Structure 1
């Protein structure tokens, strides 16, 4: 059986998905110990230049309802409630989410000032760990992973593939690539 990462989006004008990979694979048991709960996001404001207290409160409210890891980018010259405000969520780390949010914002920006990331979305109580997975990949790991099995992730899209059985590593990469089409799917969990 194979599982794929799927969009889980709501909130601001535009949302995208993405992620990052770990260097070596871990066992399912070791990976499970590193995971945060699949639900429960916290927002860390990065820049409040040009944002009112009301804007900051709105971004925090919307961001806490999004799956981690994510980022929100705005076009400072245009304000918050415009098409160029982009939240990219459900990545495997905030670096990939920031890149996607900035790319989406720049594509829609009409103002003269470059887009900037104003908020990061991480799991509640976040601290750096050896393996980070998107909220959807975390939920799939907890609900569906069993040895022999493997989970592969796409660093650039946040999508993933989960497979069971003897050739789980290859099947997980294939499942991930079938959805991501990014050429960067790698196995991060394998038994």
Structure 2
């Protein structure tokens, strides 16, 4: 059976839209403060956004799919096409839920084949115990932070791309510049150059 949800990284259209939607840049925090803001590897919580076009069975399917995704993620669908259409899409492993939602809606709208209302978010995938924090990282980046980055001594920096979910680190002299350059190289492959340093130890 064809799976109704496509697991895509952000399309170039989605990345461009997210880059334009970027907000003010927050000041980086040190790794000790960042550690207190990040979440763990526990199973994510799936927040279902009820929509008139979703049946009870659709809601169960969305919840099951959501459990397989890594935070921050979102699932979007086109009301005129229903969940079981090629337009339905999941966007996963972002550094914040707003970015994941925007990317999912943008990617879904780009895949629509029927005219009608624009795509809407039907599920948000969040870390367990979620509450907004000044610094947020994807599940993958959070794991790297805990297992590797936090153990590095001396100057270091952690840069992320909100538009693509890309990230990179630097250490030693020039850590900040190195992290930014590496992050933007990765983000550029998906149509964005919006990386910002969010964690920095001097």
Match of 1:121? 125
TM-score scaled by length of structure 2: 0.83
Q: Would the alpha carbon gap of residues 48 and 157 (structure 1) be closer, same or farther in structure 2, given more than 3 Å must change?
A: same
**In the alignment, is residue 16 of structure 1 matched against residue 9 of structure 2?**
yes
Unaligned 5+ runs, structure 1:
1-9
TM-score scaled by length of structure 1: 0.88
Report the CA distance between 1:39 and its aligned residue: 4.5
Answer yes or no: is the 8 Å Cα contact 2:47–2:125 preserved in 1.
Answer: yes
RMSD of the alignment, in Å?
2.0
Give the Cα separation in 1 of the matches to 2:66 and 2:121.
Answer: 13
Aligned mate of 2:162, from 150, 155, 165? 155
Query: How many residues of Structure 1 are paired with residues of Structure 2 in the alignment?
Result: 182
Match of 1:112? 115
Answer yes or no: is the 8 Å Cα contact 2:77–2:87 preserved in 1.
Answer: yes
**In the alignment, is residue 84 of structure 1 matched against residue 87 of structure 2?**
yes
Match of 1:6? none
Report the CA distance between 1:12 and its aligned residue: 2.5
Q: Would the alpha carbon gap of residues 11 and 84 (structure 1) be closer, same or farther in structure 2, given more than 3 Å must change?
A: closer
Tell me which of the two structures has the higher relative contact order, counting C-alpha pairs closer than 8 angstroms and 6 or more residues apart. Answer: 1
Match of 1:169? 176
Report the CA distance between 1:159 and its aligned residue: 0.7
Match of 1:37? 40
**In the alignment, is residue 133 of structure 1 matched against residue 151 of structure 2?**
no
Cα displacement string for residues 62-95 of structure 1 (whole angstroms, at most 9, x for unaligned residues): 1121110111110112121221001111111111
Higher strand share: 1
Answer yes or no: is the 8 Å Cα contact 1:73–1:85 preserved in 2.
Answer: yes
Report the CA distance between 1:55 and its aligned residue: 0.7
